[in-house]
């Protein structure tokens, strides 16, 4: 079970995922097995009217699309939601399964305290109202990965409702053109996850592993279109989208499809569809013809879940058996918006840079570690981390924690640059070398490759003088005010010094010589 990952996607288009979800999992595409009380922190997402102006080719009314997301996020805990089996990826099949997880008769669900705390934290982080009383229900359907024949969820009265998430979208090509939007969170609920099914087409069978379902984050999208002012249209559900990029594509293509159908006089069926990545469009899912009837009923084995705050905490209660919302609220870590604000205040960072630092797992920590160990200006550090460091990571598709360059190494490099021991282009060379060959320090590389900047100003002046004498025409152009001429001279001097001279210093010397 993974933590409800509030993952932020600053997508180029219009979307952003609010985490939240609700339960209806039942995506069967790659699915998953059943069972076990896994728990999924889910919260259901809100509706966000989107105006898609593109398809009104006949000059008709504009269409508005309404999209709701159900986001299933696994909670990070040691054991499962309703049983004491371990939560772990990549374990031998069915090894993390208790009798309850296998739905053996006579077993009962026992609620995991940590999961409730995680759900409350998520609700608070998303500005929801936490329901002091919430209820568990059974949602019935048949699938091989759900041995009980039902999933324990919170349909009637979930643990948190009515929240919101503020996010930013790039409004234009420039990274600074960022606008702020809000999406409503309808509810957050705790629910079991199923197991994993592996479909064996060849032998016409399905293999079931009840350890846990795949994926730490899954999204289902509910999409409908209508003309503004008119009632909402029939919605379709697109299931099991696992990446933000495909989610956006799937939603866009489904909106287009619905508009196309309606404009051609056809109707939209209330059905479940899946996204075909290769074709780039949604297709109906065979298994899901007709509306599902889940026959919700209260979970008879679980009393209502009661939460307290400091004011309502019963005196003398066993602390292990009560959950205090205020206590959890006080211990919430900084939310991303607070962290970004601090970065902007503390380092004079541009907002778009603060977003970029928080968008990559581990990048903020990396940045802060470099800042701790370097004398260089925060702006310099920001630029190096976001442009050069991140660039290398992306090129080789690595995560921050897989980086061959440590914060200490980068800090040392920036120190060398800061005291002008090396030039900026030399620094980049050193970085490349650091990336390639682990274990060497920047200083070592600098001396190995002889990249130290010439400190001897007199020697540099002599080189400038020689170059100027050797290229009288260029000097003439320079005197006439041709700015390209001076750059040419700088280039020549740099070549002559084997790139060991700082271009700004060269420029100063040349200009001084010229005016004398």
Partner 1 sequence: MWARVVRLGFWSWGSWRRGFTSKADPQGSGRVTAEVIEHLERLALVDFGSQEAVARLEKAIAFADRLRAVDTDGVEPMESVLEDRCLYLRSDSVVEGNCAEELLQNAHRVVEEYFVAPPGNISLSKQDEQEPFSHN
Q: Which stretch binds partner 1 (CB under 8 A): 77-85, 224-232, 340-348, 502-510?
A: 77-85
Q: Taking CB under 8 A as the rule, which mask of x and - marks residues 193-222 in contact with partner 1?
A: ----xxxxx--xxxxxxx------------
- According to the 3-state scheme, what is the secondary structure of 142-162? CCCCCCCCEEEECCCCCCEEE
114 binds partner 1 (CB under 8 A): yes
Q: Looking at beta carbons only, is 144 or 496 nearer to partner 1?
A: 144
Radius of gyration of the chain (CA): 30
> Smallest distance, Å, CB 229 to partner 1?
36
By CB under 8 A, tell whether 97 contacts partner 1: yes
Q: Which residues, numbered 287-316, are part of the site for partner 1 (CB under 8 A)?
A: 287, 293, 295, 298-306
Binding test (CB under 8 A) with partner 1, winner from 42, 43, 74, 98: 98
Q: How far is the CB of 206 from partner 1 (least distance, A)?
A: 5
Answer yes or no whether residue 155 interacts with partner 1 by CB under 8 A: no
CB of 145 to partner 1, least distance (A): 8
Q: Would you count residue 95 as binding partner 1 (CB under 8 A)?
A: yes
Identity of the residue, 112 or 282, whose beta carbon is nearer to partner 1 in the bound complex: 112
94 vs 406, beta carbon nearer partner 1? 94
For 276, residues 6+ apart whose C-beta sits below 8 A from its C-beta are 282, 283
Size of the site for partner 1 (CB under 8 A): 59
Minimum distance from CB of 197 to partner 1 (Å)? 7
One DSSP character per residue, 254-321 reads HHHHHHHHHHTT------EEEEETTTTEEEE-GGG-S------EE-TT-PPEE-B-TTTPPTT--GGG
| Under rule CB under 8 A, residue 86 binds partner 1 | yes
- Tokens representing 295 are 């026959």
Angle at which helix 457-470 crosses helix 472-479, to 10 degrees, equals 100
Q: Which residues contact 107 (CB under 8 A, 6 or more apart)?
A: 98, 99, 100
- Strands 178-192 and 39-52, sheet pairing: antiparallel
Closest to partner 1 by CB, 198 vs 496, is 198
Of 33 and 68, nearer to partner 1 (C-beta) is: 33
Residue that is written with structure tokens 């970085």 in the block: 431
What's the CA gap between 237 and 258, in Å, rounded?
Answer: 12
Among residues 92, 231, 315, 333, which is the contact residue for partner 1, using CB under 8 A? 92
Q: Is 115 in the site for partner 1 (CB under 8 A)?
A: yes
Residue 321 lies near partner 1 (rule: CB under 8 A): yes
Contacting partner 1 within 5-64 (CB under 8 A): 28
Q: Residue 110 interacts with partner 1 (CB under 8 A)?
A: yes
Q: How far is the CB of 309 from partner 1 (least distance, A)?
A: 17
Sign of the CA dihedral 424, 425, 429, 431? positive
Sheet strands side by side (includes 150-153):
150-153, 137-140, 297-298
Sole residue written with tokens 């371990």: 86
| Partner residues linked to 281 by β-bridges | 276
Least distance to partner 1, CB of residue 446, Å: 50
Q: Which residue of 264, 278, 320, 395 would you call a contact of partner 1, by CB under 8 A?
A: 320
CA distance 246 to 255: 14
132 binds partner 1 (CB under 8 A): no
For partner 1, the closer CB: 192 or 374? 192
Binding status of residue 84 toward partner 1 by CB under 8 A:
yes
Contact between 469 and 461 under an 8 Å Cβ cutoff? The reply is no
> Closest distance between partner 1 and the C-beta of residue 87, in Å?
8
The least CB distance from residue 19 to partner 1, in Å, is 21
- Burial of 54-89, coded b for 16+ CB within 10 Å and e otherwise, reads ebeeeeeeebbbbbbbbbbbbbbbebbbbbebbbee
Closer residue to partner 1 (CB): 234 or 302: 302
Q: For residues 188 and 186, what is the distance between their CA atoms, to the nearest angstrom?
A: 7
Binding site for partner 1 (CB under 8 A): 28, 77-79, 83-86, 92-102, 104, 110-116, 135, 140, 142-144, 197-201, 204-210, 287, 293, 295, 298-306, 320-321, 323
């Amino acid at each position: 079970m993974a933590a409800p990952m509030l993952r932020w996607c600053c997508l180029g288009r219009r979307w952003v995922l609010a985490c939240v979800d609700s339960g209806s999992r039942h995506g069967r595409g790659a699915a998953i097995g059943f069972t076990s009380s896994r728990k999924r922190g889910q919260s259901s997402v809100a509706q966000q009217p989107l105006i898609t102006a593109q398809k009104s080719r006949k000059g008709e009314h504009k269409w508005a699309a309404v999209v709701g997301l159900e986001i299933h996020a696994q909670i990070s805990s040691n054991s499962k939601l309703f049983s004491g089996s371990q939560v772990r990826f990549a374990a031998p099949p069915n090894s993390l399964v208790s009798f309850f997880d296998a739905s053996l008769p006579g077993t009962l669900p026992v609620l995991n305290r940590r999961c409730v705390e995680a759900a409350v934290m998520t609700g608070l982080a998303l500005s929801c109202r936490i329901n002091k009383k919430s209820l568990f229900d059974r949602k019935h359907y048949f699938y091989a990965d759900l041995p009980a024949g039902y999933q324990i969820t919170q349909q009637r009265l979930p643990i948190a409702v009515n929240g919101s998430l503020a996010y930013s979208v790039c409004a234009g090509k420039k990274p600074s053109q960022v606008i702020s939007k809000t999406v409503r969170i309808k509810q957050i609920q705790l629910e079991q996850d199923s197991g994993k099914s592996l479909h064996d087409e060849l032998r016409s069978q399905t293999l079931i592993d009840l350890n846990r379902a795949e994926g730490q984050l899954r999204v289902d999208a509910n999409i409908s279109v209508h003309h503004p002012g008119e009632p909402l249209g029939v919605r379709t559900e697109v299931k099991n989208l696992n990446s933000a990029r495909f989610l956006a594509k799937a939603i866009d293509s489904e909106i287009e499809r619905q508009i196309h159908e309606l404009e051609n006089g056809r109707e939209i069926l209330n059905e479940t569809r899946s996204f075909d990545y290769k074709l780039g469009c949604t297709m109906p899912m065979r298994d899901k013809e007709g509306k599902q009837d889940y026959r919700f009923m209260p979970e008879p084995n679980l009393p209502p879940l009661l939460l307290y705050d400091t004011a309502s905490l019963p005196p003398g209660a066993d602390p292990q058996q009560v959950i205090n919302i205020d206590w959890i609220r006080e211990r919430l870590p900084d939310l991303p918006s607070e962290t970004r604000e601090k970065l902007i205040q503390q380092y004079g960072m541009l907002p778009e840079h603060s977003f970029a630092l928080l968008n990559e797992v581990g990048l903020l920590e990396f940045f802060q570690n470099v800042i701790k160990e370097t004398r260089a200006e925060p702006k310099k550090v920001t630029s190096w981390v976001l442009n050069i460091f991140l660039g290398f990571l992306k090129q080789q598709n690595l995560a921050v924690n897989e980086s061959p360059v440590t914060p200490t190494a980068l800090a040392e490099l920036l120190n060398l640059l800061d005291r002008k021991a090396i030039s900026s282009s030399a620094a980049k060379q050193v970085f490349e070398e650091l990336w390639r060959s682990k274990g060497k320090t920047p200083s070592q590389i600098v001396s190995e490759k002889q990249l130290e900047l010439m400190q001897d100003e007199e020697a540099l002046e002599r080189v400038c003088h020689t170059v100027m004498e050797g290229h009288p025409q260029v000097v003439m152009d320079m005197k006439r005010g041709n700015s390209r001429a001076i750059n040419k001279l700088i280039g020549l001097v740099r070549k002559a010094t084997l790139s060991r001279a700082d271009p700004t210093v060269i420029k100063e010397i040349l200009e001084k010589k010229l005016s004398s």
